Structure 1
Amino acid sequence: MSSSSASPTIPSDPFASRSRWLWVLLLTLLLHILLIVWGNRQFGVPLPVNRPEPVVMANLTPLPPVEKPVLLPQEPKPAPQATKPTTKPSAPVRPKAAPEPSVEVPDTPIRETVTPIVDAGPATPAPADPAAAASPPAVEPAPAQAEAAPPAGKHYQTNPPPSAELKYDVQALQKGQNYHGSGKITWQTDGGSYTVNGEAGILFFTVLDFKSEGEINGFGVSPVTFTQKRRNKPPTQTIFHRELNRIIFSSSPQSYPRSGGEQDRSSVVWQLASIGRGDSTQFAPGVVIDLFVAGPLDAETWRMQIVGQEKVSVDGNDVDTWHVIRIPEAGSHEQRLDIWLAPQQEWYPVKIRFTDKNNDYIDMSLSKLKPLGLAAAH
């Protein structure tokens, strides 16, 4: 009887099996990584890079503060009349002229004014004082330097435009509605005086009617009276009183000292044109011209800023102009004023725009220009 013997089965090592699978996984992962890197290099696929967004910082610099609206008369006219003959004998009297402006200026601390040197005329009775002969060397230099102050004043060479009648096409935006109308400004001067008459109408209504009268002197355009009439409002009159040396109003108790160079809301346009005609180099982008301007109820400094040269369509033709703006201070209810002056057309205002705080506006664009020749202002 044969007995069969079965050989025992040797169990496999589980640790060795798991090690082999682990090596297979590692090799597979390494092959995938190598394949990805090779593909990026082969096909130029950029790897994602997180870059911080650039930060831009800007510093806003405000406009310089409003300069004191001090205007000096033109040197050729007043200098030979009073400056040379009265310089020496007026030495003892200079201390008397100083207190007079100081009494009036505190009433309105809005601005400083410099009294023209011509005011030193009433200096004749003083040389009789014997004690004054010893004091001039010590007393005169200090007040003379403080009063004359040529560097503090802003001198503009002026030459007003010749007489002309300007007609305008008027466009207006009022409470969301567009309107069309017409306007006219008549500028007349004989070289020593001037008048400005202006009006603007929409449909059958006159929205603005004004008149300015005055002199042409060493300061340029120098108003004496300004009358304004707006729709549904009574007329007002502003007077630049020569005897009182004050600016007074028919509809307001306000008053301001007058020393020369002040403007009204109509004459300011023609004073700017006179400055441009007097010397065109006085106009440059960014230049600021501060003028003290009186309205129907009060007065304040207007900062007129020259934006630059622009082309404006006038009756279908492009005209080179200088764009000047007046932007009221923050919180003011005054209108913004834009003026376009044409040097090739005697610096006449070929376009004027008044813009309210609510963006309503009245736009006047020149449609016809008629020279009037040499005409008397009155």
Structure 2
Amino acid sequence: MPRPTTRPPATTAVAPPRRPGMRAAAPHLALALAAVVAAHLWVLDAWSRPAVSPVGVPVAVPSALPSVTALPAPPAPQQQTRVSGALSDAVPVVPAPLPVPLPVASPPRPPPKATAVDTVAVAVAVPEPEPEPDAVHMSAEAPAEPLQLALATAGNSPGRSPPAATVAASHALVAPPSVLLRYRMKRGPLAGTGQIDWQRDAGSYRMRLEARVPVFGLIFMETSTGQLDASGLVPLRHTERRLKRSERALSFVRDQGPPRIAFSAREGTEPLRPGAQDRLSWIAQLAARMAAPPAGDWRPGSTLEMDVASTGGDVQRWIFTVQGRDGSGLWQLRREPDTPTDTRAEVWIDPQQQHWPVRIRLSEPSGDPLELVLDGLQPA
């Protein structure tokens, strides 16, 4: 028989006895709770206001950020002043900038005295350019002959002297080295061979031209001897011998009285001007002149002038005018006659052949022109 379930006796909740002080503390707790709520409301209101920058310009704060809450900018710094033992806020004061001291100019120092060491240092650091050897030789030995050639070169304006540096460079002519030139010669129906034997020493030269044709052999021969200086060739004696004609000569007299040219074919003399050449030496002088500055940059219309004396007793002024450069690189120069009985000369200069003429054409008023075409060049 089952046992009857025994239930525990019900308990009756008994309220704790109220203390007499709690009723008196209730108003204070309510005030505290109200203060806490007011503080929270003030904080929420402060967060919802826009922040203010130190200069009073509102700063835009994003309304919603995923995890960052914008805080108000710190207030502008205020200067606090202690008054009667308490701190009170005062108007912010921006301190004035400190005055910047002006630079005081120091009195100029006298230049240091030059010493032997300073002089040596300057001389080593900035050496003075040494003059060209040719220019020194020209200024010491060639008084007036270079000027005649310089006035006829390219780049000089009429009535205007070239600069000193240009004059020195254009005057320092260097004669070509010793060489044997072989030419094919032709005059009308007559054809043959010719050769020029050019010999150059330290300060002198010897030049010989021979023309030969079949059957007759040697029909023409010229020689020229002289000195070399910065103006190029300085002839002293020139001879000419033709078939069935005796030898004729001329001399350049420079050491006895006024400079002059004397002829064996006639009496009297002609004035000897700087740069004068004979009817053979002008070929080598032209080669030296074309090799000098502005070599490679001659312009059409540029001129080169020189007196050319012949054994017949006359002296002609030869003015070569640069015609230009052809497709093969040859410079063409032409000399027009001054009178109807004068000689026209046409020359083709090859810079690759030491500026020697590779073709010469001499035309006289009567008769066929004489042509020489370079056939070979052999160092001597």
Q: Which residue of structure 1 lines up, in the alignment, with residue 329 of structure 2?
A: 320
Give the AA of the match of 1:291: M
CA contact (8 A) 1:158 1:276 kept: no
Is structure 2 residue 315 aligned with structure 1 residue 299? Answer: yes
Q: Which residue of structure 2 lines up, in the alignment, with residue 261 of structure 1?
A: 275
> 2 CA distance for matches of 1:263 and 1:218?
15
Residue deviations 1:152-201, cap 9 Å, x none? 9986441211111011111221xxxx222111111110231111100112
Q: Which residue of structure 1 lines up, in the alignment, with residue 241 of structure 2?
A: 229
- Percentage identity across paired residues of the two chains: 28
> 2 CA distance for matches of 1:303 and 1:81?
26
Is structure 2 residue 177 aligned with structure 1 residue 162? Answer: yes
Give the AA of the match of 1:210: E
Q: What pairs up with 1:63-102 in 2 under 5 angstroms?
A: 75-80=135-140
CA contact (8 A) 2:142 2:229 kept: no
Give TM-score, length-normalised by structure 1.
0.54
> 2 CA distance for matches of 1:298 and 1:263?
12
Deviating 4+ runs (over 4 angstroms): 80-83, 114-117, 149-155
Residue deviations 1:238-270, cap 9 Å, x none? 101121221111112231233531111111111
Q: What pairs up with 1:119-134 in 2 under 5 angstroms?
A: none
Q: Which residue of structure 1 lines up, in the alignment, with residue 113 of structure 2?
A: none
Is structure 2 residue 198 aligned with structure 1 residue 187? Answer: yes
Q: Which residue of structure 1 lines up, in the alignment, with residue 230 of structure 2?
A: 218
Residues 308 and 82 (structure 1), Cα distance of their counterparts in 2 relative to 1, 3 Å cut: closer
Q: Which residue of structure 2 lines up, in the alignment, with residue 341 of structure 1?
A: 349
Select the structure with the greater relative contact order (CA < 8 A; seq sep ≥ 6). Answer: 1
Give the AA of the match of 2:354: E
Q: Which residue of structure 2 lines up, in the alignment, with residue 371 of structure 1?
A: 379
Give TM-score, length-normalised by structure 2.
0.54
> 1 CA distance for matches of 2:161 and 2:136?
15
CA contact (8 A) 2:146 2:171 kept: no
> 1 CA distance for matches of 2:141 and 2:236?
23
| SS of aligned partner of 1:261 | coil
Alpha-carbon shift at residue 358 of structure 1 (Å)? 3.7
Is structure 2 residue 346 aligned with structure 1 residue 286? Answer: no
Q: Give the number of equivalent residue pairs.
A: 226
CA contact (8 A) 1:254 1:298 kept: no
Is structure 2 residue 246 aligned with structure 1 residue 239? Answer: no
The structure whose residues are more often helix, as a share, is 1
| SS of aligned partner of 2:301 | coil
Residues 255 and 363 (structure 1), Cα distance of their counterparts in 2 relative to 1, 3 Å cut: same
Residues 290 and 116 (structure 1), Cα distance of their counterparts in 2 relative to 1, 3 Å cut: closer
Q: What pairs up with 1:34-45 in 2 under 5 angstroms?
A: none
> Which consecutive unaligned segments of at least 5 residues does structure 1 have?
1-73, 84-113, 118-148, 312-318, 373-378
Q: Which residue of structure 2 lines up, in the alignment, with residue 46 of structure 1?
A: none
Radius of gyration: which is bigger? 2
> Which consecutive unaligned segments of at least 5 residues does structure 2 have?
1-133, 148-159
Alpha-carbon shift at residue 320 of structure 1 (Å)? 2.6
